[in-house]
Amino acid sequence: MTVMQFVAKKLYYRIGDVCRIIRVEPHVLRYWETEFPSLAPPKNKAGQRTYRPKDIELLLTIKKLLYEEGFTIAGARKQLARGARAVASEPPAKEVAAGKPGKKTPRPAPAQRLNQVREELENILTLLERE
């Protein structure tokens, strides 16, 4: 599965808006900023973080790596350094090495897939409510 593409309605988003889109708490976003060097949203004159659409796409990728694919923070950081956009749809390397050649990797459990679809639909709903 690929990471959902974020469709921007504005140039900049505040941390509260991003939390609703990504579905994580503000302290999680602030922590991720300390752990992922590529995530550094600029601050406005009032000192508030202003997230750009590319920051939100990166956050969606980070969340997928950590929550859905089970990477540690260090592992997710390495994946991003390698270009996680190309790698995100592939299973982690340990699963590929353990699998037999020519054999398909197992699909995610139906409940996990339903949760993924639900999250994506809620993100879409959030975007539609802003119109």
Query: What is the chain's pLDDT, residue by residue, as a tens digit (131 residues)?
Result: 445 566 667 888 999 999 999 999 999 999 999 999 889 898 889 988 899 999 999 999 999 999 998 899 999 989 888 874 454 455 544 444 344 444 455 566 777 777 788 877 877 777 777 66
**What angle do the packed helices 26-35 and 15-22 form, to 10 degrees?**
90
CATH of domain 15-92+105-129: 1.10.1660.10
Q: How many residues does the chain have?
A: 131
DSSP 3-state of 40: coil
pLDDT for position 125? 77
Contact 88, 3 (CB under 8 A): yes
